[in-house]
Amino acid sequence: MNKIKNLSELKLLGLYSDVMEELRRRGLIRTSNNPVADYAEYLVAKKLNLQLLTSSYKSADAVDKKTGTKYQIKSRRITQYNSSRQLGVIRNLDKADFNYLVAVFFDNKFNVLDIYKIPKRIIKKYARFSKHQNGHILIMRGPILEDKTVEIIDK
């Protein structure tokens, strides 16, 4: 850690770039965006034996090729600076072509805290529509965690 503290800002950003490129080469991420979402998609696809869809597919991230069941995968990295369990905006929920939403939570070091599988049909019950963000906001705490239709995949 002390070696990192002594690096210039430009060297740190270069190191980040190198790490991102290596993660892409290993197949752990697919884009140059924040790696949290890509890594969550990779883990869920591996855990549930799913095929990842192309990033151009709007409302689902992965599919079970045997059943045709589609999954949207949302993730959040919990840190000392942000402990929110709010997932990214779910757009066009009524028309979205997925059967389940999978929510993945990581700790600061990317260890899995928990993974939930949520049927699409119950998301509206717990999410609120945000006109400002033009989509549904789902916070993974409270009653949704006690709902019998929400499956805990990993904890």
Note the pLDDT tens digit of each residue in 24-72.
999 999 988 889 999 999 999 999 999 999 977 888 999 999 999 999 9
Q: Give the C-alpha distances (Å, rounded to integers) separating 104 from 29, 43, 72, 134, 149.
A: 15, 9, 11, 22, 17
pTM surpassing 0.95? no
The confidence score (pLDDT) of residue 1 equals 56
Residue 20: Cβ within 10 Å count? 18
Q: Is 143 helix (H, G, I), strand (E, B) or coil?
A: helix
Rounded average pLDDT over 82-95: 94
What is the C-alpha separation between 72 and 91, in angstroms, rounded? Answer: 11
